[in-house]
Amino acid sequence: GQQLNQSPQSMFIQEGEDVSMNCTSSSIFNTWLWYKQDPGEGPVLLIALYKAGELTSNGRLTAQFGITRKDSFLNISASIPSDVGIYFCAGQPYATGNQFYFGTGTSLTVIP
């Protein structure tokens, strides 16, 4: 399957700081998704992107579909303790149509 490179692997930040993470692929994607997963639970959808250049916000979260269609970015502003968790990007390759592949995740720790 496809390999998505997600970075950073982990982040330790102070409450109130902003967070940025990104995901890159080796091929063109037509959909980028961002999820948050808490321990022992399934991933929960944060933001969905369907168009190159699209910038979408969900509260303090903002994600962008890269112009090259090979990358995506997620920003979290003014982090709070409940932002703790693992964040995953996921993408749907343009060539295949039905599969969704996931990045390796970014573990976020927020220090109060």
Partner 1 sequence: SQTIHQWPATLVQPVGSPLSLECTVEGTSNPNLYWYRQAAGRGLQLLFYSVGIGQISSEVPQNLSASRPQDRQFILSSKKLLLSDSGFYLCAWRGPRYSPLHFGNGTRLTVT
Give the residues lining the site for partner 1 (CB under 8 A).
Answer: 1, 31, 33, 35, 39-45, 48, 50, 86, 88, 90, 98-105
Is-cis flag, bond preceding 39, omega within 30?
Answer: no
Q: Are 92 and 99 in contact (CB under 8 A)?
A: yes
With beta carbons less than 8 A apart as the criterion, state whether 55 and 64 touch: yes
Q: Which CB, 17 or 55, lies closer to partner 1?
A: 55
Which residue, 62 or 104, is less far from partner 1 as judged by CB? 104
**Closest CB 90 distance from partner 1, rounded Å:** 7
